[in-house]
Structure 1
């Protein structure tokens, strides 16, 4: 893949955001590689009895987000290397550089790892091998959202064992918890001069009942709870509050009224950035005026679609890496969006390198016949379709539905 390939989104999205009522206009660029950022702190220089302030101290941080990380039955069968051993790492071999080069990478873990004693399974009740999490660590994930409709697929045991394995791997998470104290502990990211509070909620758990007296196990979308948590986060005085929601209607390419209502209230409560998934297809992004935010506006991604799954239909096989590059002027205590970009992705399923494989592929408009030589003509057509679909939906304002 040519490293110079870029998605021409700047002019289109700037115009689109300008037209949308109540939406802030921001220049948006696609970056397929991240730059290295050098920063220095303000000093006060004394010379000849006069004080001269140094240049403003500015730091940057790139946050990368993907959608649903799923593990259907055919996926773990494909990853099998022995009777009780699996290797999911090849899934990420072509996309790892984009995930690991970000300052902090997030995803939605839509399965549990409750152990082989609980029997591995895919839809509708997921339980995946431990090696699934090993591959996420290998790929570069730093933080996983764990509140979704499959959180209780193996009841409390699934949650506790998954959290234990994530901790052992050094992967941060929020959304499911081991006890009340754990739930009430707001996750704060300290990275490169930024502090970010992270919260996570799901619309439900597919009818799987939360054990009596253990509501702390899974965060469900509830106005009072969200407001309480955001208020608790504010006490920590973070630069930003990031909320993840698992909501919406499956396979619908535009947010419904329920999603819009949750977003509106969360912004009123103090959310600065909102990321979401569950529909298994990509939905639009939008800026909301938010004079109470340090960023002056709240960025919302209503659904980032599937990043990895066995779903093969159009729109369901397409994903995206969303990159938010933030800038913080420490001297002036100001935050801003420096750049917002995205990398379309497509999931390959087929025979390659001597076996059945799943690969997440970065998609550009200039993929040549020599790029990913294992792709058939049909694969290339589907990948091109995914590229165009993703570009179109992320360019579109939700008012155009």
Structure 2
């Protein structure tokens, strides 16, 4: 008896499609495609002025529950959220400018909002002296918040810095430096990461031995209240990039500054955010009533090459409503309020203040973009108007 296997046309088609699909998957793999991705968010200066301390004070302590409620969804949407923690945690005797010392509740509010890495190297790191440095470190450790920039001693710095964060199979190297600490000298054995090219190069070489896939430098630099970066910032950014840094993220000016996208063909090679501006503060100077949050997605292919897939920014603005005769502070996602409903909620005066901030901020942020080409970078809700 002759045995044979019968294939219908449908069976042949199924086999062909299955084989083709497998081949395509294989080709994708050998061409380096992968699903290893990490999303990052960078936020600006988180500060506590006296007006904020007064507003947050309650009978039992300090309440910051409304501060970040409206931007929390954006923060929660990313894998890693980094904030410049521009204050200290002295444990008592809280003060605002010029010597910042904030309640622990403020740090907890940032953590609850979704920030999981705090930068502590800034010009206010030493505002409360040696005890302030050490208690800030101790509190962040007790909160299980990763942080970099200041250290109790050399042994701790050697152990913890540079920082490498591993997420979704991608190794991310982090650096953090400040230009100064307002003339206050660090007390031994404490260490603050100051901007010194020789030390930075040593740290980068140390970091490279740790085999990161990408290096990010967070720099506290520039002139305060200037919407344009200066020559020193550009020179330092070029130095960092020359030595292997892919992303340079700036803080300190308290106003936003340009985002510089450096490409090679159609690929993004480097991103420089010269200044994120303020995240939250009690500042009253022009253009200091907000800032931007920058989101960047990176991926790693099967050839272990890192790609910067995209970069977006969204504006945040400090709304100060009067509640029970007391000025409160709430951080608003600007794009969600740029409509008739937003104007109704905020009132005409506040809406115009927000709109003025947003117009100036966008002009500064986008000032380096090539207008004749399609934009790579856009805000979360609105396309950048090139």
The bucket for the TM-score relative to the shorter chain is 0.7 to 0.9
Is residue 162 of structure 1 aligned with residue 136 of structure 2? yes
- The 1-side partners of 2:370 and 2:229 are apart by 10
Kindly tell me the number of residue pairs found equivalent between the two proteins.
342
Contact 1:251 1:281 (C-alpha < 8 Å) held by counterparts: yes
Alignment of 1:329-348 (within 5 A): 329=301, 331-348=302-319
Contact 1:71 1:122 (C-alpha < 8 Å) held by counterparts: yes
2:274 corresponds, among 299, 302, 305, to: 302
- 1:377 is matched with 348
TM-score (normalised: structure 1): 0.80
1:172 corresponds, among 137, 140, 146, to: 146
**In 2 relative to 1, CA 399–201 (structure 1 residues): closer, same or farther, beyond 3 Å?**
farther
Contact 2:342 2:351 (C-alpha < 8 Å) held by counterparts: no
How far did residue 372 of structure 1 move?
Answer: 7.7
- 1:364 is matched with 335
**In 2 relative to 1, CA 193–382 (structure 1 residues): closer, same or farther, beyond 3 Å?**
same
- 1:268 is matched with 242
- The 1-side partners of 2:138 and 2:62 are apart by 19
Contact 1:254 1:398 (C-alpha < 8 Å) held by counterparts: no
1:114 corresponds, among 87, 90, 94, to: 90
How far did residue 96 of structure 1 move?
Answer: 1.0
- 2:71 is matched with 95
1:75 corresponds, among 40, 52, 55, to: 52
2:105 corresponds, among 118, 131, 148, to: 131
- The 2-side partners of 1:364 and 1:53 are apart by 41
TM-score (normalised: structure 2): 0.83
Give the unaligned 5+ runs of structure 2: 1-18, 20-24, 372-386
- 2:182 is matched with 206
1:395 corresponds, among 366, 374, 378, to: 366
- The 1-side partners of 2:138 and 2:153 are apart by 13
Larger Rg: 2
- 2:300 is matched with 328
SS in 2 for 1:164: helix
Contact 1:365 1:384 (C-alpha < 8 Å) held by counterparts: no
In the TM superposition, what whole-angstrom CA distance separates every residue of 1:60-102 from its partner, at most 9, and x where no partner exists? 21100111001001101101111x5001121111111111221
In the TM superposition, what whole-angstrom CA distance separates every residue of 1:10-38 from its partner, at most 9, and x where no partner exists? xxxxxxxxxxxxxxxxxxxxxxxxxxxxx
Contact 1:290 1:298 (C-alpha < 8 Å) held by counterparts: no
- The 2-side partners of 1:343 and 1:296 are apart by 19
Alignment of 1:56-71 (within 5 A): 56-71=33-48
Contact 1:126 1:153 (C-alpha < 8 Å) held by counterparts: yes
For the aligned residues, what is the CA RMSD? 2.4
How far did residue 313 of structure 1 move?
Answer: 3.2
How far did residue 297 of structure 1 move?
Answer: 1.9
Contact 2:268 2:308 (C-alpha < 8 Å) held by counterparts: no
- 2:4 is matched with none
- The 1-side partners of 2:80 and 2:166 are apart by 10
**In 2 relative to 1, CA 52–107 (structure 1 residues): closer, same or farther, beyond 3 Å?**
closer
